[in-house]
Amino acid sequence: MKTAYFAGGCFWCITPTFKETEGVIDVASGYCGGDEVNPTYSEVKSQKTGHRETIKIDYDETKVSFEELLDIFISGVDPFDGEGQFIDRGYSYTLAVYYNDIIEKETAVRMISKLEESSGKKVWISAEAFKAFYTAEEEHQNYYLKHPEEFEKELIESGRKKI
């Protein structure tokens, strides 16, 4: 089993796609990138910790590769927005790939560069070395399953889902 870490704006919004991907064993919402130990949702959301909302993806690399997961990630965000994602604004909602090794780093940098070349635009996905992941509070885990109506409303109001 391997683990990937992606910050894609609202962690609620990017969880379902990965949960439904063959080879993905588990997806957890949490925080990465900052130096504060065990930040809370309100602290991260208030932009005080240097963390981003992040998902931790445990996966079977014999069924899905890091590159495939990264491709899914990129297709589910707006990589050209450096200020956040959709209605969620601020550093904690910016995009990042937290890599675990040189191969993941090279894969992320290559895919980001390829997207910049093909689009002719600046891609605002940061590739950073993984430091620590702090699991978000239980109420943020599997939000889309616990609150399907509110989740659907969030997707539509945020602009992530077109109706």
Point out the catalytic residue in the list 4, 10, 64, 72: 10
Is residue 10 annotated as part of the catalytic site, yes or no?
yes
pLDDT tens for each residue of 114-149: 999 999 999 999 999 999 999 999 989 998 889 899
CA dist., res. 15 & res. 5, Å (int): 12
In the chain, the domains with their CATH numbers are 2-157 (3.30.1060.10)
pLDDT tens for each residue of 60-79: 999 999 999 999 999 999 99
DSSP 112-154: HHHHHHHH-S---EEEEE---EEEPPGGGTTHHHH-HHHHHHH
CA dist., res. 18 & res. 16, Å (int): 5
